[in-house]
Every structure is written in C-alpha cells, then in structure tokens.
Amino acid sequence: MRLQINGDEHDLDVITLKDVVKHFGLQEGLVVTEVDGTIIDRSNWKDINVQDGMKIELVHFVGGG
Amino acid sequence: MTNKLTIAGKQLSSRLFLGTGRYPNPYVQNRAIEVSEAEVLTFAVRRVNLSAPDEDAILQHIEKPFQYLPNTSGATSAEEAIRIARLAKASGLSDWIKIEVSQDEKMLIPDPIETLKATEILAKEGFIVLPYTSDDPALCYRLQEAGAAAVMPGGSPIGTGLGILNPYNIERITEKLTVPVIVDAGLGSAADVTQAMELGADGVLLNTAIAKARNPVMMAEAVKHAIHAGRLSYSAGRISKKKYATASSPIQS
C-alpha cells in the first residue's frame, strides 16, 4: 500500500490507520492523526481502512514556547 | 500572597507559564520545571519524525500532570492556526490553545488580524483560547471581547530578552482588561519578570530566559521569586514618581 505520510511516500503492509501508527512504533496516547485533511479520533483508528494514495499526517507535541 | 490566578475556571497556584523548548537536555528541563513550580507548560505541535519518532517527543520526559498549553506556532494564517488547534485538542491532553500566528520570520510579530480571527472562531468552538499578541491595548481588548480566556501581550520579540519595550502599553492593558493578562515573549531575566508583575500582569510566560540561561535551574528559581516580589509590590502599591526630593528624615533637630 502506497501512502503519503508526513509528506513522504511509504510502502506499507497495513490495513487500518491503527496499523500505520503501530508500524512506526508510536505511543498511541501521544499521537494525533489526520487523513486527507480530516482529523481522526484515536477511538476510530481501527475502523479506518487506509487506501492507496491517502495523505496521512502524524503529529505530536514537541518542545516549544 | 494575594488571590490565586484563575483562567477559565481553573485555579492556578503559580503565575508562571513555562515553555518547553531549547533546554540543554530533558534532565535540566525537568529540574527547571520543578524548581519554577509552574503548572502551565507550553508545547508546539509538529509532524512526528518517522525515522526517529522518540527524538523530539516531549511528553515522555514530563513527569507529572500539568495544564498543557499547546501553541499554534508555525501558523501564518487563522486557518492554519485553527487546524493546529484542532489537532492539539484531538490529542485529548488539553483544550487550551495559545494562538500564535505570524507572517514575519525575522521579528515573529504576531499578525493582529489573523490572531483575532482565530481567537473568535476557536472560542466559539469551545476552546480555552490564550492569544499571543502585540502590546496594543485596543487589540488586546478586542481579543478579550472575541472570547479569549486570557490575553498574552509580548514584552518584546520572542527570544530577544529585550524585556518590556513599552511598559506604558502593558500597564494600560492590565488596567483595561477583565480577563487575566499574561506577559509573554521577550522577557530576559528576573528583573523583567518583576517589572511585568508590577505593571499589573496576572502572570508571565517564559521560555528562552530560563532554557538558555547559563544555569536554567537557578534562573527558574529566580523567576519564581521575581513573580512573588513583583506581585507583592503591585498589590502593595508603589509611590508615585516626583521631580524633586522629599526628605525621609525629620528636617528639624
């Protein structure tokens, strides 16, 4: 599956959005996802089937003022 | 010491809001946070670096629960700020948001029109909105009327340590507004913090002044005392300035 994640092309063997988060080894409680410009709540990650060409953003809190 | 600061119904024991950027390492940062006694911490929202996901993740280093105040830094328009605010809220960690919108990379001066627009929309959506703004009393008032829970005028441009460039304006803002005023940006030392508090600020937001001090932990402690001193001094009421001397010792022997 070819996905555009955080601006880069990734070829991943995944079914759901939850799999994507898991693939990168991210702490679920600290990550926020956006799929094609829509924020997806953590509770719905397992219900979102990803498809070729989807644009996914994975963001989190970093140090800042 | 005087009454506590309350923002959107949340009572805070500390009047210091602390940024989490640019510390030498997580250990020093945690020590500085602890010593400062700050309860509100600011963060930025960024893409996860997928080749090193833990590299700049901040929350894994933060030890106890705080009031999180994510910012919208990087936004150049109200639209971008609103997107970042919604992402931050979806974290489930906080519905407070520091609006920060700038189109000016050199000065990082907040864009007044976009900041006002974002404040209005996000306050209506139910966010607890704390806009970072320039020290314009009329604009600060408009932000309050737009639904800001607190207004955060800058003392001087971010990270400059130039202190409060226009104390007259800051004092007009603290006099006029009924929501808390937090002086944000540009403060460089404990003296600047005391001045902000003496001008009637309800609190201060610092990052670089502590993170980049030669000894961040010691500066965090200095700032804590500065807030206390400044607030007491403000509450005590300073004397008015006079042109000529008044003897403090009796003139007659």
Tally the C-alpha atoms within 13 A of residue A38's C-alpha that lie toward its C-beta.
Answer: 8
Q: Where residue B105 sits, what CATH number does that domain have?
A: 3.20.20.70
Assess if residue B166 is contained within a domain: yes
Higher pLDDT, B65 or B250: B250
Assess if residue B250 is contained within a domain: no
Catalytic residues of B: 98
Assess if residue B48 is contained within a domain: yes
Q: In A, which residues are within 8 Å of B88 by CB distance?
A: 32, 61
Classify domain A2-59 by CATH architecture. Roll (3.10)
φ, ψ at B233 (rounded to 5°): -60, -45
- Tell me, rounded to whole angstroms, the distance of Cα A25 from its chain centroid: 11
Nearest to A64 among B44, B48, B59 (CB): B44
Q: What is the pLDDT of residues B42-91, one digit of tens each?
A: 999 999 999 888 776 677 767 668 999 999 999 999 999 999 999 999 99
Nearest to B58 among A10, A32, A63 (CB): A63
Q: How many domains does chain B have?
A: 1
Assess if residue B241 is contained within a domain: no
Structure tokens at A53: 């060409």
Assess if residue B246 is contained within a domain: no
Q: What is the pLDDT of residues B140-190, one digit of tens each?
A: 999 999 999 999 999 999 999 999 999 999 999 999 999 999 999 999 999
Residue B63 pLDDT: 64
Judging by beta carbons within 10 Å of its beta carbon (0-12, 13-18, 19+), is residue A16 exposed, middle or buried? Answer: middle
β-strand partners of A38: A35
CA-based nearest residue to A41, from B91, B70, B68: B91
Residue B236 pLDDT: 96
Query: What's the whole-number mean pLDDT along residues B104-109?
Result: 91
Give the predicted TM-score (pTM) of the model: 0.93
To the nearest whole angstrom, how far is the Cα of A30 from the nearest Cα of chain B? 6
3-class secondary structure per residue, B81-105: HHHHHHHHHHCCCCCEEEECEECCC
Q: What is the pLDDT of residues A10-59, one digit of tens each?
A: 999 999 999 999 999 999 989 999 999 999 999 999 999 999 999 999 99
Segments forming the whole domain that contains residue B209: 5-236
8 Å CB contact of B57 and A61: yes
Judging by beta carbons within 10 Å of its beta carbon (0-12, 13-18, 19+), is residue B86 exposed, middle or buried? Answer: middle
> Torsion over CA of B26, B31, B32 and B33, rounded to 10 degrees?
90
Q: Is the ipTM of this complex over 0.90?
A: yes
Q: Is B19 on the interface with A (CB under 8 A)?
A: yes
Domain ranges of chain A: 2-59
